[in-house]
């Protein structure tokens, strides 16, 4: 099978936002407690953070992390999680039916972000919380000392503001499962009130309005339209969420899923443009894909049964899931003109790239796919023409066997390529209007389609150096079936 990827440096889509390489940390299951934070672990540093987990997460080169939920956010009162630990309350947590000890809160989260090099991103409670409580949280985090909540932060050990730049106006408020769920117009009013007060408190912050929690929602787009109309200029971004899976064991179909990811992005983009035009506004809301991943196996587990850190949503990933994770990121890169933030959901144990068991840790297959792209994160996304064979999937329509993204970074070109074929090699040639001089580095992720990593076999699926490129002005390589290749070329 032969495919040509034709690129031209004068056909840019847009600068790739570094913030599309984000993550998400929720008070859910073993994500925080026994995940990133475990004072009892042999790996804990002086502040109870797990150094082995931090070291692994650092490799992902994430730029921004969203916190504290998720569904959790809609019942969370931030003041429960600040101040002396011994006086923080243990509370019933209703989103996941767990117990929340509140020993990890805002200060710990910001401290973790600083250790790893992430920008913090906070989702306020617009379910059971008030717009004013959200405003107060902005003051706690971002105001200089001299007023009530800023002084409380200083008393808790941080005289300097945390400078949290991005704030989500609640979470999945369109979903009936969400605490405090309301129709779009009511959420729009609530979010408008909150955003106004939050921005009045700190004019530098950017806000993310809750968009639809998936394209399957009955109110998809109508919800987004109404919310954006209510918020006007107060919404800098609108959120998208998407969890996918190979529910019927049809890998041919599953690997065509990027069609529907592209479509979801393009539909929400159209909606935001529509609202901006109707408002005759010079600015528009950008897309913030603040929850995305594969998640379909570890569902419906009956909740946390009133315990602290129950094992919930502990999805195990195989190679085909890693290919799909690469496809999500490639879709974001191809939509660099509108997708400006994206957060892999989540980080550790809970639908995460990293798993822990006691003091052990292993990296899931999706870890490698994410890292292979995030380590090549700078540049301008290029529009690519794919000339080659295609197939028609039952659920997602027609796709090329090659899924791709390409970025031009000065004298470097990054090319990402998935061969979707389950049984055939794909001979790929990459052509650019500039001459490709050599491979700087290239790696491949390739294994049995269903292969997983585990505590006993942590490297069964791992990226390996790829030396298959033949470079002569253009570049040519044979990509094995169901594989993902990430390459950086030097240009002449
Ligand atoms: O990431 C897991 C959950 O999925 C989040 O809490 C929620 O926002 C979404 O439904």
Mean pLDDT confidence for 446-450: 98
Q: What is the overall mean pLDDT for the chain?
A: 97
Write the pLDDT tens digit of every residue in 352-364. 999 999 999 999 9
Q: Which of 112, 92, 120 is nearest to 179 (CA)?
A: 92
Indicate whether 173 pLDDT > 80.
yes
The mean pLDDT of 323-344, rounded to a whole number, is 98
Q: Which of 65, 69, 97, 314 to mutate to test the pocket of ligand 1 (most atoms within 8 A of CB)?
A: 69
Is 188 a pocket residue for ligand 1 (Cβ < 6 Å)? no
Residue with tokens 């791709």: 404
31 lines ligand 1 (CB under 6 A): no
% the chain with pLDDT above 70: 100
174 C-beta closer than 6 A to ligand 1? no
Q: How far is the CA of 40 from the centre of ligand 1 (A)?
A: 27
Q: What is the pLDDT of residue 204?
A: 98
Assess whether pLDDT exceeds 80 at residue 300: no
- Residue 116: its pLDDT value, please? 97
Q: pLDDT value at position 302?
A: 75
Residues 99-109 have a mean pLDDT of 98
Would you say residue 291 has pLDDT above 90?
Answer: yes
Across the range 404-419, mean pLDDT stands at 98
Q: What is the pLDDT of residues 22-78, one digit of tens each?
A: 999 999 999 999 999 999 999 999 999 999 999 999 999 999 999 999 999 999 999
Q: Which two tokens stand for residue 381?
A: 């996304």
Indicate which residue's Cα is closest to atom 3 of ligand 1.
Answer: 70
- pLDDT above 90: residue 303: no
State if residue 291 touches ligand 1 by the CB under 6 angstroms criterion. Answer: yes
* C-beta of 69 in contact with ligand 1 (< 6 A): yes
Distance from the alpha carbon of residue 16 to the mean position of ligand 1, in angstroms: 26
Best of 28, 70, 75 for a ligand 1 pocket test (most atoms within 8 Å of beta carbon): 70
Query: Over the stretch 184-194, which tens digit does the pLDDT of each residue have?
Result: 999 999 999 99
- Cβ neighbors of 249 (< 8 A, separation 6 or more) are none
Ligand 1 geometric centre to CA of 71 (Å):
6
Which protein residue's CA is at the shortest distance from atom 8 of ligand 1? Answer: 70
Both structure tokens of 250: 């049809």
Calculate what percentage of the chain has a pLDDT beyond 90.
Answer: 98
Which ligand 1 atom minimizes the distance to the CA of 95? 6
**Ligand 1 atom 4 nearest Cα:** 70
Residue 273 pLDDT exceeds 90? yes
| CA distance linking residue 287 with residue 270, whole number of Å | 11
pLDDT of residue 455: 98
Note the pLDDT of residue 301.
73
């Amino acid at each position: 099978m032969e495919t040509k990827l034709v690129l031209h440096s004068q056909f840019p889509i847009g600068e790739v936002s570094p913030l599309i390489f984000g993550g998400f940390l929720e008070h859910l299951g073993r994500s925080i407690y026994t995940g990133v934070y475990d004072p009892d672990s042999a790996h804990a540093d002086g502040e109870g953070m797990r150094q082995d987990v931090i070291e692994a997460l650092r490799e992902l080169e994430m730029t921004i992390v969203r916190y504290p939920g998720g569904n959790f956010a809609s019942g969370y009162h931030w003041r429960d999680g600040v101040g002396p630990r011994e006086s923080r309350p243990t509370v019933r947590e209703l989103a996941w039916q767990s117990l929340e000890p509140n020993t990890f809160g805002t200060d710990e989260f910001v401290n973790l972000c600083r250790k790893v090099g992430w920008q913090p991103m906070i989702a306020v409670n617009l379910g059971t919380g008030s717009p004013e409580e959200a405003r107060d949280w902005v003051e706690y985090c971002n105001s200089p000392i001299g007023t009530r909540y800023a002084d409380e932060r200083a008393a808790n050990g941080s005289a300097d503001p945390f400078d949290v730049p991005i704030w989500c106006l609640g979470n999945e408020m369109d979903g009936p499962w969400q605490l405090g769920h309301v129709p779009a117009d009511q959420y729009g009013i609530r979010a408008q009130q909150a955003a106004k007060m939050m921005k009045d408190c700190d004019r530098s912050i950017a806000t993310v309005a809750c968009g639809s929690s998936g394209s399957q929602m009955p109110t998809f787009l109508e919800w987004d339209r109404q919310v954006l109309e209510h918020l006007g200029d107060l919404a800098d971004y609108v959120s998208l969420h998407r969890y996918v899976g190979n529910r019927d064991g049809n890998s041919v179909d599953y690997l065509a899923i990027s069609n529907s990811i592209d479509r979801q992005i393009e539909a929400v983009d159209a909606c935001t443009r529509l609202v901006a035009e109707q408002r005759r506004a010079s600015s528009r809301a950008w897309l913030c894909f603040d929850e995305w991943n594969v998640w379909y196996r570890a569902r419906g587990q009956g909740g946390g049964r009133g315990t602290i850190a129950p094992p919930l949503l502990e999805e195990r990933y195989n190679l085909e899931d890693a290919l799909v994770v690469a496809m999500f990121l490639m879709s974001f890169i191809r939509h660099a003109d509108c997708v400006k933030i994206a957060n892999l959901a989540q980080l550790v144990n809970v639908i995460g790239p990293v798993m822990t068991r006691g003091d052990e840790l292993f990296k899931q297959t999706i870890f490698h796919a994410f890292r292979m792209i995030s380590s090549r994160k700078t540049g301008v996304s290029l529009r690519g023409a794919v000339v080659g064979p295609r197939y028609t999937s039952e659920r997602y329509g027609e796709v090329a066997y090659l899924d791709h993204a390409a970025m031009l970074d000065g004298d470097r070109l990054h090319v990402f390529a998935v061969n979707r074929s389950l049984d055939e090699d794909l001979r790929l040639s990459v052509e650019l209007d500039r001459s490709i001089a050599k491979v700087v580095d290239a790696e491949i992720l390739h294994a049995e389609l269903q292969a997983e990593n585990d505590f006993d076999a942590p490297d069964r699926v791992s990226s390996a150096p790829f030396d298959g490129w033949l470079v002569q002005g253009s570049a040519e390589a044979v990509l094995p079936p169901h594989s993902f290749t990430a390459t950086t070329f030097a240009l002449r």
